[in-house]
Structure 1
């Protein structure tokens, strides 16, 4: 079974695909940029990341629940960290606008 999360940051189409036993993969504009085969993501640890040219570094932090996986995405530029996507909690309008 797999779960897919899709969102955009500036002009980049981001897709994160999690497979129950195959790990998690990060695609940017339909190109594989990173993957991880950790079975359970329990802590607030970045498992996937990719450099978005001139924008910053995209960091994906998956969180395993009992029967599902959720993710949070952050855009990091220097010491500035912006929460740009969450599959399980609402982001503020300001956070959503920063990703566009």
Structure 2
């Protein structure tokens, strides 16, 4: 079983693909940038990350449910952390605008 998440962050096309037994992959503009083979993502831990030139570092925090996986994406630049995508909760309009 496979589940994918797609969003755009400052003109970068982000795709995260999770396989039940194959781990999770992070692709940016079609290029594989990071992967992890952790079976369950239980805590609020960054499992994937990639440097976006001049923008900051994209950090992906997956969360395993009973039968599904959800993700949160953050853009980190120095001490500034912006929540830029969530597959399971609504972001504020301000958070959405900062991601564009």
What TM-score comes out, normalization by structure 2 length?
Answer: 1.00
Aligned partner of residue 66 in structure 1, secondary structure:
coil
Provide, for residues 40-95 of structure 1, a one-character-per-residue CA deviation record: whole Å limited to 9, x for no partner: 00000000000000000000000000000000000000000000000000000000
Counterpart for residue 5 of structure 2: 5
Provide, for residues 1-58 of structure 1, a one-character-per-residue CA deviation record: whole Å limited to 9, x for no partner: 0000000100100000000000000000000000000000000000000000000000
Counterpart for residue 87 of structure 2: 87
Deviating above 4 A after TM superposition, structure 1's stretches of 4 or more consecutive aligned residues are none
Kindly indicate whether residue 53 of structure 2 is the aligned counterpart of residue 53 of structure 1: yes
Ranges in structure 2 where 5+ consecutive residues have no aligned partner: none
Distance apart, 1:96 and its partner CA: 0.3
Kindly indicate whether residue 77 of structure 2 is the aligned counterpart of residue 77 of structure 1: yes
Ranges in structure 1 where 5+ consecutive residues have no aligned partner: none
Counterpart for residue 38 of structure 2: 38
How far apart, CA to CA, are the structure 1 residues paired with 2:7 and 2:99? 9
Aligned residue pairs, count: 100
